[in-house]
Structure 1
Amino acid sequence: MKSYLTVLSIAGSDSGGGAGIQADLKTMSALGCFGTTAITAVTVQNTLGVKGIHAIPVDIIRAQIEAVMDDLRPKAIKIGMVNRPEVAEMLGETLGRWENVPVVFDPVMVASSGDRLIEEKAVSMLRKHLLPLATLITPNLDEAGIITERSIRSCGEMVEAAQRTLELGAKNVLIKGGHLAGDVLYDVLLLANGEQEQFKSRRIDTKNTHGTGCTLSTAIACGLAKGFSIKTAVDRARDYLQKALEYGKDVKTGEGHGPLNHFFQPSKQIIQ
């Protein structure tokens, strides 16, 4: 019997369709995976910013995860918006049942608009429960700064922050340098075995950057679901993100930070 290559996203819903669960499902579909979800929060937002957040009860989040994992058997998991300490604790307990499934954790803490999306007391719980759980954590500079409690303004400081993140319990870390100034963007990958890789790409001049972190982490999860190494999954996911940005850079969607073009070249559904 044939089956789809399934990936689970545990994240918040974006009413504007550019980030969160919506961006994750678009990415999974474009990369030939079957997307499933567990929604952690419903956000009220558009391209101009976040207007409100409605938290989903913890037992409902857990039930969504168990319903998907017990039946659809995802090959990889992506965790996005976890803005409450009780959710982080539940995820650490619940996902421990499926230790062989790779987990990509994108610690969504600040929206593209600058709106903070996480409760202050949740940060320590993320460190305690989700850093050790994740196969790979993918913070941007602001998020890495919150996790490590330090300011990051250079590539050298990105490497130091990556090392500090491993010391805090992470297995592997990709720190994204999109917020640094300059025409060339750098991301730093540090693996548990000490191997380090610096990726670079050309900065694309566009306002349409809403959902870049969600898209990248989900694309990495799709790569891990397909059996790629972490390094290969990151490399291919960055290439997909760069093209989604390029093909969507001149499209006007809303009055603020618009979305990417996830379907610039959709893959055919992969059926195993």
Structure 2
Amino acid sequence: MQIFHKIAREPLVHFLIVGALLYAYFDLTHKNPALRQKEEITLLKYDLKQLSRQTGIKDKKVLFDYLKYQKSLLSDAYSLGLYKDDKTIQNILLHKMEFILNANAKIKEPTEEELKAYYTKHPKDFSQLEHFDLTIKEFDGNIDPKLIEKVRLFGNLNKADNLQKLKGVTLDDISKKFGKYLRLKIAAMPENYWSHPILLHKKIYLFYLSNKQTGSIKPFAEVEGKVYKQYLFTHNTIALRKAYKQLLSNYIIKVQ
């Protein structure tokens, strides 16, 4: 009995219990949104300034998306009465909620039939790439790439500030401007999705490939590995955005 009491007092055990409660609560309320009323989340301009200092991000629209992401996840945790005005505890709760959000959006391993169907549905992504449009978002190299990845997944980067847009470029153009490494990355990208963060020349970039002009489609056997990677990337992105959108539907977002 003494051993049980000792274990029960351990902080790690507390957070394991909290994690289990959060997961059960998230699963119940997000599959049954009628069980809860919409709550208000207020985003303060002061919080945006503070977040800018903490993260190094200057783009106000990107900051707004990231602050909304943080506040909505923490509000779900607070709904269980887990609020505490302590930054360390808040970070732990945020990490727990991120883990739960990812678990809730987990996708299953695709079958060969699903991969072939994906290949057929997206012929441009598996054809000879001739030219395309490229949108570029640049971040300071000191910013945490994990933070930028969250913005990629849950923000609206197409409305971000200071986007660089290149029209009708080729892979040779990319090699000349950025080098062969990025050429390989761009060639592997699906159309109409922002890339993972890419570090180049002490800067972090996100790339968005659109308006692909292509030649003939390559045989499935030749690009099967690429089909598999793109399937996982796109379906994981879609599943996470869907889970996040469902979470946001529980809240009314206001800015002051």
TM-score bracket, shorter-length normalisation: under 0.3
Q: TM-score, normalised by structure 1?
A: 0.25
Q: TM-score, normalised by structure 2?
A: 0.26
Structure 1 or 2, whichever has the larger Rg, is 2
Relative to total residues, which structure has the larger helix share, 1 or 2? 2
